[in-house]
């Protein structure tokens, strides 16, 4: 049965940079220096190379948050010594003081991450509406409820949440897991000559302790996000769906809504039996001829699940109208539903415009692939061939595969183990069987995703890899052993980080399934997967079972 491969854009924690909107909102300063008035009007604003550098970091954070339902605060670097960083809600303006920038710059290679830590903290106050309760109380002092609400205000809880969710925001923007928050706080107190105790704030020692604990919790949240992506890539869609739902209770972002929609779609595609076209995002290891048809694409139950996926993509779009991956995925679902009119519109109009506005070049390639599929399904073979050829020349691996399908050429296949490739796949000298036999659990990193479903991690078994485990009903395990960036080892077939996709295909063959991302692709083989990045080069890989 011929198959044509359709495209989903799946987010893997990599963002694009656009300028924040110049708009502005009450002040929740990071630190309130005693005896200083906090109004920022008239502050001396700095326009320099340093300002533009910090503004770029700020813009990356705004774009990573991807929530444009509210006006975006403007940003200023100011020459004053009042509050380190804070928000002026009257002017809708976030400020960072020059002295605080100096403290961040003292962190050397981690300076940009330190700046992102402070700015993401303030942005989180804004997006989580931490000023609303105290603002309501101040404006309605004559009402009993306002007095009660003011008593309930918990500045320490807000500060902790701003560190936690702000840290995830900084990670999403590409600044990594910054775990030196306690050091920054100490450096700021020293630079500003502050005492350990400040009225209205936790003590310095408490803030440092909270920062360290928050960093640990943040690391678990990031790992859970990565596990959700890995589960979806390897076809464990129902498990991945529960992970994304858990994440949404902690943090709402366009990427999580988008990935939730992708997971619903992939899960629904598994319920569709033999059809004219095959879609690799089914994560199906069997051909259609080997599986009995379960439901048709037109079945009301299938259509309802596809509509649910569209609602998730719409939620992502509502947060960021220029988030091109969600438009592309929405178009893909309409194509699967058989509504090619809407599929054309969302792919060729909405997604294409958003890919230009939001600077998503990889999505632009994938739009051509999807449009090629739509033309093929409309019996326009020449049009489909032209679109696939265009995307192929631009470097799209999916276009090359689909072109072979369209021209009725035999598909490229995986190269199985055996012959020259007899060695077991290992990471840091451990095969997955060895990891599974001695599976220890770090109780501090265990997360109960839902009843009878746990996300587990093992203590480190090396210096540059991580082991993730999903446990269901105390006995059903899904295990991933994932390399970290910078890992210097090789796979059993001598593939290492930085190798181009073509090298992977040369020794492993073309994968039976894959999942697109806004930057590249996840190539899924039998018990090993490769994460390809922006330049078509290998960024990480994982052994799994």
Q: What are φ and ψ of residue 77, in 5° steps?
A: -95, 125
Per residue in 205-264, pLDDT (tens digit) is 887 887 787 778 778 888 898 999 999 999 899 999 999 999 888 878 888 888 899 999
Measuring CA to CA, how many Å separate 115 from each of 110, 111, 184, 206, 282?
9, 6, 10, 22, 41
Helix (H, G, I), strand (E, B) or coil at 77: strand
Measuring CA to CA, how many Å separate 67 from each of 274, 311, 313?
40, 17, 14
CA dist., res. 522 & res. 531, Å (int): 5
Say what the pLDDT of residue 206 is: 81
- Strand order across the 93-97 sheet: 74-78, 93-97, 85-88
Contact indicator for 524, 234 with CB cutoff of 8 Å: yes
Say what the pLDDT of residue 139 is: 54
420 burial type by CB count under 10 A (0-12 exposed, 13-18 middle, 19+ buried): exposed
Helix (H, G, I), strand (E, B) or coil at 522: strand
Per residue in 265-316, pLDDT (tens digit) is 888 877 775 444 444 332 222 222 333 445 677 778 888 999 999 999 999 8
Per residue in 116-155, pLDDT (tens digit) is 989 998 898 888 877 655 554 555 555 554 455 454 445 6
**pLDDT, mean of each 10-residue run, the chain (545 residues):** 51 40 38 44 69 92 83 90 84 91 93 91 85 55 51 62 81 78 87 81 79 79 89 92 90 85 86 50 28 63 90 90 92 92 95 92 92 94 95 90 90 82 88 90 90 90 92 92 93 96 95 85 94 91 95
CA dist., res. 79 & res. 334, Å (int): 53
Say what the pLDDT of residue 534 is: 80
Helix (H, G, I), strand (E, B) or coil at 124: helix
What is the overall mean pLDDT for the chain?
81
Q: 539: number of CA atoms within 13 Å, CB side?
A: 15
Helices (H) and strands (E) in the chain, counts: 19, 13
DSSP string, 246-300: HHHHH---HHHHHHHHHHHHHHHHTTB-S-SS--GGG--SS-GGGS---B-TT-H
For the chain, what are the domain ranges? Answer: 49-221, 234-406, 426-544
Contact indicator for 169, 65 with CB cutoff of 8 Å: yes
Which tokens is 397 given? Answer: 């691996």
Q: Within a 10 A sphere around the Cβ of 291, how many other Cβ atoms? A: 13
Say what the pLDDT of residue 482 is: 95
Q: How many residues does the chain have?
A: 545
Say what the pLDDT of residue 459 is: 86
Contact indicator for 198, 185 with CB cutoff of 8 Å: no
- Label residue 129 left, alpha or beta by phi (over 0 means left) and psi (-120 to 50 means alpha): left
Contact indicator for 540, 497 with CB cutoff of 8 Å: yes
Say what the pLDDT of residue 141 is: 54
Say what the pLDDT of residue 161 is: 79
CATH class of 234-406: mainly alpha
DSSP state of 47: -
Say what the pLDDT of residue 176 is: 76
Say what the pLDDT of residue 343 is: 94
First to last CA, the chain: 29
Say what the pLDDT of residue 44 is: 63
């Amino acid at each position: 049965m011929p198959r044509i491969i359709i495209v989903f854009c799946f987010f893997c924690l990599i963002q694009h940079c656009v300028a924040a909107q110049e708009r502005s909102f009450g002040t929740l300063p990071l630190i309130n220096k005693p005896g200083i008035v906090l109004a920022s009007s008239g502050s001396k604003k700095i326009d320099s190379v340093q300002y533009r550098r910090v503004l770029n970091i700020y813009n990356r954070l705004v774009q990573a948050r991807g929530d444009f339902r509210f006006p975006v605060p403007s940003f200023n670097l100011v020459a004053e010594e009042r509050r380190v960083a804070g928000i002026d809600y009257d002017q809708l303006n976030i400020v960072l003081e020059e002295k605080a920038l100096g403290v961040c710059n003292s962190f050397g290679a981690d300076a940009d991450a330190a700046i992102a830590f402070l700015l993401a903290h303030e942005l989180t106050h804004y997006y989580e509406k931490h000023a609303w309760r105290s603002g309501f109380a101040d404006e309605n002092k004559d009402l009993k409820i306002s007095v009660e609400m003011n008593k309930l205000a918990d500045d320490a809880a807000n500060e902790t949440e701003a560190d936690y969710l702000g840290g995830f925001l900084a990670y999403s923007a590409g600044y990594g897991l910054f775990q030196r928050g306690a050091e920054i706080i100490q450096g700021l107190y020293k630079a500003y000559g502050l005492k350990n105790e400040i009225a209205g704030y936790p003590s310095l020692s408490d803030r440092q302790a909270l920062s360290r604990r928050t960093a640990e919790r943040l690391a678990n949240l990031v790992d859970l996000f990565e596990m959700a992506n890995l589960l979806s890539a390897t076809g464990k869609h129902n498990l991945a769906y529960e992970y994304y739902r858990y994440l949404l209770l902690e943090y709402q972002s366009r990427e999580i809504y988008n990935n939730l929609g992708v997971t619903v779609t992939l899960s629904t595609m598994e319920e569709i039996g033999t059809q004219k076209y095959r879609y690799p995002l089914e994560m199906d290891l069997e051909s259609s001829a080997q599986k009995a048809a379960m439901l048709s694409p037109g079945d009301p139950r299938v259509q309802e699940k596809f509509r649910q996926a569209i609602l998730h993509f719409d939620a992502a779009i509502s947060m960021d109208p220029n988030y091109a991956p969600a438009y592309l995925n929405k178009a893909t679902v309409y194509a699967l539903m058989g509504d090619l009119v809407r599929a054309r519109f969302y792919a060729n109009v909405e997604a294409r415009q958003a890919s230009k506005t939001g600077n998503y070049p990889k999505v632009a390639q994938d739009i051509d692939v999807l449009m090629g599929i739509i033309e093929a399904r409309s019996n326009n073979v020449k049009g489909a061939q032209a679109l696939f050829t265009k995307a192929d020349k631009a470097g799209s691996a999916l276009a090359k595969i689909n072109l072979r399908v369209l021209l009725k050429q035999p598909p490229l296949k995986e190269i199985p183990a055996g012959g020259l490739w007899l060695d077991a796949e290992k990471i840091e000298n451990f095969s997955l069987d060895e990891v599974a036999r001695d599976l220890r659990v770090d109780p501090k990193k265990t997360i109960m995703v839902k009843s009878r479903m746990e996300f587990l991690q093992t203590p480190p078994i090396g210096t540059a890899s991580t082991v993730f485990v999903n446990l269901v009903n105390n006995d059903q395990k899904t295990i991933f052993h994932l390399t970290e960036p910078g890992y210097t080892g090789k796979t059993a077939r001598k593939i290492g980080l930085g190798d181009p996709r073509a090298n992977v295909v040369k020794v492993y063959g073309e994968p039976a399934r894959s999942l697109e991302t806004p930057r590249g692709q996840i190539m899924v083989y039998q018990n090993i997967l490769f994460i390809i990045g922006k330049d078509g080069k290998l960024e990480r890989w994982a052994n799994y079972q």
